[in-house]
Amino acid sequence: MNTKVSETIAEYFKTQPIEKAWVFGSFSRGEERPDSDIDIMVSLIPGTHIGLEFFVMNLDLERLLNRRVDLVVEGDLLPFAEKTANRDKILVYARA
């Protein structure tokens, strides 16, 4: 996994209501291509209600990483997709 990508994600989430973040998919497996998006799964700080801020986070990450980002909340994927994501995911941020 690209260290610059994981560091950028971690630094960004320090300023957001995110408890943990994982990268999954092609980036976590080291199989990304120049046109690959970055799949990121997050868990929110308990009690956090997020709305449009989630879309702003997605746009911010795309700008910072200069790639398309697919940002999802843990538990929101369909079961078959969640199983695959859980197999591939790499923790890149955990709130201290």
Which residues have C-beta within 8 Å of that of residue 16, sequence separation ≥ 6?
Answer: 53, 57
The helix/strand/coil state of 85 is helix
Structural domains in the chain plus CATH codes: 3-94 (3.30.460.10)
pLDDT at 35: 95
pLDDT at 1: 74
pLDDT per residue, tens digit, the chain (96 aa), is: 789 999 999 999 999 999 999 999 999 999 999 999 999 999 999 998 888 999 999 999 999 999 999 999 998 888 888 888 989 999 999 998
CA–CA gap between residue 6 and residue 84 (Å, rounded): 20
pLDDT at 82: 87
* Residue 47 burial by Cβ neighbours in a 10 Å radius (0-12, 13-18, 19+): exposed
Phi first, then psi, for residue 90 (nearest 5°) are -125, 125
CA–CA gap between residue 93 and residue 12 (Å, rounded): 10
